[in-house]
Chains A and B, each alone.
Chain A
Amino acid sequence: MADELVSLDRTLIATLIERVADHVMAHAEELTALDQAIGDGDHGINMKRGLTAVMADIESISAQPLPGALKAAGMQMVMKVGGASGPLYGTLFMGLAKELSDTPTRAEAVAGFGAAIEAVKARGKARAGDKTMLDVLIPVHAAAADGADAAALRRVAAEAAEATIGMQARRGRASFLGERSLGHMDPGARSCQLLVEAVCDVLEDAA
């Protein structure tokens, strides 16, 4: 269908933000534990701080059309997270804000998602296979471009996060560990998977 993805009114934008924030924050301890294994042990705490700041601002954020809401949420992540994930998630959201219209079609959403992923690559100087959030975003984007439905996208995200266990980190603190980074799931890949799950849940319910 070339129609708009779903009707993105103020309520749906607020729901999207709330469900993403709730879902990621509910797993904050798990994210921190993953990060303690191969990073600096603060990913869950940092995501929680950023998303709490987004939630504190939800009235004004969700009062804006989609691009403005994404930009405002991204800016809160940049300013409040306190780790590299702030600029990385901020760049993802602000990259989407730059590309999407108020009511994107599915094709526009897929194209915008692809452009936002390119922006994240540039921000993190990373590429596929480096054991980062990109290793979830890239396969999810490819599946979305192939027409996958919400259930398939959740599955792709879960498999992609799982696949980072077998990767050796080439970016971030985990890269100092070399081969010792093998055998652990990347915390950023896991938080991206949670993000994808929450977005799929909301869009499925709204469709």
Chain B
Amino acid sequence: MNDRVAIVIVSHSPDVARGTADMVRQMVGTEISLAWAGGNPDGGLGTSVELIMDAIQAAWSDAGVAVLVDLGGAETNTEMAIEMLAPDRQKRVVICNAPIVEGAVMAATEAWGGGSLEEVRRTAEELSPV
């Protein structure tokens, strides 16, 4: 459906995840595939492997999916979600080591410009402190 890299945003807070997605939409537009997952399985603060898997599948692009996460549990749960995808999909999903809001906007901009999954990741990670 899309030859551009997709973006997924994972935050402990549904509000942060949704708000970050809104910013990406406004700054980068609707031409890239984008989904978010926020909150634990009860809707409180936390992350859910199931919701993260759903978001990755919903945003899916054969060009790959770049995931932006906030704090530790979001990363661990995203790694678990990736491992639970079909084997041929697992290697086309990467977690970007970048601040979630800035990273999502930068990754989406690179994706919109047609960057490969590795380029998208690198662009987002340029924002990271060394």
CB atoms of B45 and A42 under 8 A apart: yes
CB atoms of B40 and A49 under 8 A apart: yes
**Could you say which of B46, B50, B79 contacts A83, with CB atoms under 8 Å apart?**
B46
The interface residues of chain B lying within 8 Å CB-to-CB of A81 are 40
Give the A interface residue count (CB, 8 A): 23
Tell me whether A86 is interfacial, beta carbon within 8 Å. yes
Complex Cα–Cα for A24 and B49 (A): 22
Q: Which residue of A lies closest to B50 (CB)?
A: A79
- Say whether, besides A83-B40, A87-B49, A173 and B79 are in contact (CB < 8 Å): no
CB atoms of B49 and A83 under 8 A apart: no
CB atoms of A84 and B41 under 8 A apart: no
Tell me whether B77 is interfacial, beta carbon within 8 Å. yes
Dominant SS at the B interface? Answer: loop
Complex Cα–Cα for A107 and B125 (A): 46
CB atoms of B80 and A87 under 8 A apart: yes
The interface residues of chain B lying within 8 Å CB-to-CB of A84 are 72-73, 75-77
CB atoms of A173 and B41 under 8 A apart: no
Complex Cα–Cα for A168 and B80 (A): 26
**Could you say which of A40, A45, A79 contacts B48, with CB atoms under 8 Å apart?**
A79
Complex Cα–Cα for A87 and B39 (A): 16
Q: Mark B63-98, 1 if CB is under 8 A from A, else 0.
A: 000000001110111011000000000000000000
Complex Cα–Cα for A84 and B75 (A): 8
**Could you say which of B41, B71, B80 contacts A49, with CB atoms under 8 Å apart?**
B41
**Could you say which of B42, B72, B75, B79 contacts A82, with CB atoms under 8 Å apart?**
B42
CB atoms of B79 and A87 under 8 A apart: yes
**Could you say which of A40, A49, A79, A80 contacts B73, with CB atoms under 8 Å apart?**
A40
Tell me whether A172 is interfacial, beta carbon within 8 Å. yes
A129 to chain B, nearest CB (A): 18
CB atoms of B73 and A83 under 8 A apart: yes
B56 to chain A, nearest CB (A): 15
Given contacts A82-B46, A83-B47, A90-B80, 12 further A-B contacts (CB under 8 A): A40-B71, A45-B44, A46-B40, A49-B40, A82-B39, A82-B42, A82-B73, A83-B77, A86-B77, A87-B77, A87-B79, A123-B79
The 5 A-B residue pairs whose C-beta atoms are closest, nearest first, are A82-B40, A82-B46, A84-B73, A87-B80, A84-B76
Write 23 A-B pairs (CB below 8 A) sorted by A numbering. A40-B12, A40-B45, A78-B80, A79-B41, A79-B50, A82-B40, A82-B41, A82-B44, A82-B46, A82-B48, A82-B73, A83-B40, A83-B47, A83-B73, A84-B72, A84-B75, A84-B77, A87-B76, A87-B77, A91-B80, A123-B76, A123-B79, A172-B73
